[in-house]
Structure 1
Amino acid sequence: MTFARNLDKYAELIVRVSLNIQSGQSLWINAPILQPELVRLISSKAYKAGAKHVHIEWQDEICTQIRYLNAPDDAFNEYPTWRADALSELADNNGAYLWIDADDPELLKDVDPARISANSKAAGPKLVKWREHMSSYKMTWSIVAAPSEAWAKKVFPQLDEQAAINALWDAIFKATRVDQEDPVQIWQEHNATLRNKREQLNEKKFHKIHYRAPGTALTVQLPEHHVWRGGSATNGRGGFEFNPNIPTEEVFLSPLRQGTQGTVRSTKPLSYQGNLINNFSLTFENGRVVHYTAEEGYESLQAMIEMDEGAHYLGEIALVPHLSPISNSNLIFFNTLYDENASNHLALGRAFPTCIEGGAEMSKEQQAQAGLNDSLIHVDFMIGSAEMDIDGEHADGRIEPIFRQGNWAF
């Protein structure tokens, strides 16, 4: 009975907070085929909230794996225009998009990385308009998660299959605060806390951010008119709040494209396109990655960085206290949505236009002139730990602590 109650509260949280469905909106759910019960609950609650249409796009990771292993090479040089057009239509009409992530972290470990890279490059030009709507918050979108058998066994290898799924559900319910009596109210309060942190950072108007930790000595310069974001976002057309990620513990911004110097080392594995990349480091000069190493998944890291020129530059820096619910679980989720919210992190690739004043209304050329990066990818990777110190540097050279030993210093 407890599981059924928590699943119902999770669906309610997704509809009312993640998406904040408005009357007349259409909702597109990209859903794992193994989670029909959750999808049915979300659909029912979305219609009750006023949704006009709920479209379900079912995904089966085994079929995805079969395609990558068996389709002809030239199949990965194409992306269906009809799907790109459908997503653009959803965005043009201020629809809502939900991705329920349940992927096996190592789904494509036996696939040639060149195939995965080719597929991403084919999709990129077709999805430009769609991604611009998302990154500028001109539509509602959110990412949440639900267990799959393979993912659960990766997180809890000591348990049998069903016990691992149950344990992962429990971890998801706890991390999303669904195990509490009124998660919707709790999330409204949590969003307010994150809003307070980002407002404090915006008032400080730092010029640079300095990171220090074992294997990390990194300086990141910020754009002149930067804006810290975090927690809930505002739909640019409707003016209502939604949460692009649940869970989320971060405040973030997009750095100056050519302003990163030094070396940073990962602290958690990165699951990228069905492959694990672990214990890797990146060295930056004038914003660009000039050297990289990895103890595991080097070819996948290389394919990611060489995706395009913009993939060599940062699109995001994010601050997450070490003392946070996901970090305190002492679990490695092998899933970026969760692991990035246990750790300070960076992202290679596409920047967020909303992270500079007026950026959402700028052209691509104007965004570039303001110092924002662009790329086909946006990939977060974790760098935080209890040993990380972070300082903010003002334009006059004054230094102010932001993090000490992995946690907020103010």
Structure 2
Amino acid sequence: MDQRIRNHAATLVHWSGRVHRGDDVVLRVSEGTHDLAVAVAEEVGGRGANLLSVYGSDEVERAYLRAHDDDFETDPEYELALYENADIVLSLGGGRNTTALADVAADRRQAAARAHEGIREARLDTDWVSTVHPTRSLAQQAGMAYEEYRDFVYDAVLRDWQSLAEEMARLKEILDEGSEVRLVGEGTDITMSIADRVAVNSAASVDYDSHNLPSGEVFTAPADADGTVTFDVPMTVNGRRVRDVSLTFEDGTVVDYGAAQGEAAIEEVLDTDAGARRLGELGVGMNRGIDRVTDNILFDEKMGGTVHLALGRAYAANFPAGHEDERNESAVHVDLIRHMGEGSRLTVDGEVVQRGGTFRWEDGFE
């Protein structure tokens, strides 16, 4: 086994999940992640924790959804109980076909998502962490050779997370103290309120309210968005390619949208429920170890020099204690990304924090 797989597992269990003796751990294993699952199981066992592995496959899900009659049972008790009784959920992504669900009807996917919203909430109430194992399908989606893609993944995952956490704390402090964020760039001029929000220093550990490995972003929950934003990073949404998405907001709600490619996929997201037309997240990528777009949101949204906005569900971690019920609710959380290239700027309360993708504390800021 590649030693980097073992290092990945150790980082996931020790730094990210903070697994301790006696913890009840659910390990969600995708079809292409066997080697990483073995290494994670060894690490969990070494901590004296309890482990239950469950298998997940987009091809299995496709078969089930296509055969179903759309009358999905709401939050089946046996599955709900699994996550209500878990302390930690570790999800290993990496399947054989990144577009396996492309021919499942959108209304059926939406119905299934709505029916399982309580299960999703129960899982998100645990100390959950999602990561990805480099597979050939993901390498192909990224347009990279398999060996090249493995190097890319481990460069992003096996980092000095403590040092990056200390750098990202600078941006968290600015956002925590701020009231309004403005993004300006080609095709973009949008303002959002961030008053009374708590930014998350997403340093790839549940101790930082961070649930992705790799991570490397600072995110908050915006409100009252007004203006237009264009997302120039191509990506796959519900199994379909989307490119150059444009959203226009008034009083926090999407009132117009378009895309050079995949507009129907965006329409389906927006039509999921009322909350899908509002923002649940503003994230700023700060992981300089991610240096290219790979059509995998786990990596792309963390890339240094980018920002992303998510339609739909907001995270409770972005709200002060006792105010979690103020968050935007939705059955979806769909991130869209834009480069903060030449001519762009991110301001907080009128002060420029980032220009052209460079933060004001970094070399090269002008």
TM-score, normalisation: structure 1: 0.81
Shift of 1:55: 0.9
| 1:72 equivalenced with 2:75 (yes/no) | no
Check the 8 A contact 1:277/1:296 in 2, yes or no.
Answer: yes
Distance in 2 between the 1:241 and 1:293 partners? 36
Cα separation, partners in 2 of 1:126 and 1:352, compared to 1, 3 Å: closer
Q: Which residue number in structure 1 is paired with residue 82 of structure 2?
A: 86
Cα separation, partners in 2 of 1:59 and 1:352, compared to 1, 3 Å: closer
| 1:142 equivalenced with 2:147 (yes/no) | no
Instruction: Write out aligned runs for 1:7-406 (5 A).
Output: 7-51=5-49, 53-68=50-65, 70-74=66-70, 80-90=76-86, 95-103=87-95, 104-131=97-124, 133=125, 139-156=126-143, 164-176=145-157, 178=158, 183=159, 186-202=160-176, 205-223=177-195, 225-232=196-203, 240=207, 243-256=210-223, 259-321=224-286, 324-326=288-290, 328=291, 330=292, 332-342=293-303, 343-358=306-321, 361-362=322-323, 364=325, 367=326, 372-387=327-342, 388-393=344-349, 399-406=350-357
Distance in 2 between the 1:16 and 1:373 partners? 32
Shift of 1:261: 0.3
Shift of 1:97: 0.6
Which residue type is aligned with residue 348 of structure 2?
G
Percent identity over the alignment is: 23
Check the 8 A contact 2:232/2:339 in 1, yes or no.
Answer: yes
Which residue type is aligned with residue 192 of structure 1?
E
Check the 8 A contact 2:244/2:259 in 1, yes or no.
Answer: yes
Q: Which residue number in structure 1 is paired with residue 358 of structure 2?
A: 407
Q: Which residue number in structure 1 is paired with residue 364 of structure 2?
A: none
Shift of 1:106: 2.2
Distance in 1 between the 2:167 and 2:94 partners? 28
Shift of 1:243: 4.1
Cα separation, partners in 2 of 1:61 and 1:355, compared to 1, 3 Å: closer
Q: Deviations for 1:6-54, whole angstroms, at most 9, x for unmatched residues?
A: 1111111111111111121011111112222210110111121231x11
More helix by share: 1
Q: Secondary structure at the match of 2:213?
A: coil
Q: Secondary structure at the match of 2:131?
A: strand
More strand by share: 2
Which residue type is aligned with residue 407 of structure 1?
T
Q: Which residue number in structure 2 is paired with residue 136 of structure 1?
A: none
Distance in 2 between the 1:335 and 1:36 partners? 20
**Coordinate RMSD, CA, aligned:** 2.2
Which residue type is aligned with residue 298 of structure 2?
L
Q: Deviations for 1:304-353, whole angstroms, at most 9, x for unmatched residues?
A: 111110111111111225x8221x2x3x2111111101121111112222
Shift of 1:286: 0.2
Check the 8 A contact 2:161/2:203 in 1, yes or no.
Answer: no
TM-score, normalisation: structure 2: 0.90
Q: Which residue number in structure 2 is paired with residue 161 of structure 1?
A: none
Check the 8 A contact 2:70/2:108 in 1, yes or no.
Answer: no
Q: Deviations for 1:251-271, whole angstroms, at most 9, x for unmatched residues?
A: 111112xx1001111121232
| Unaligned residue ranges in structure 1 (runs of 5+) | 134-138, 158-163, 394-398
| Unaligned residue ranges in structure 2 (runs of 5+) | 362-366
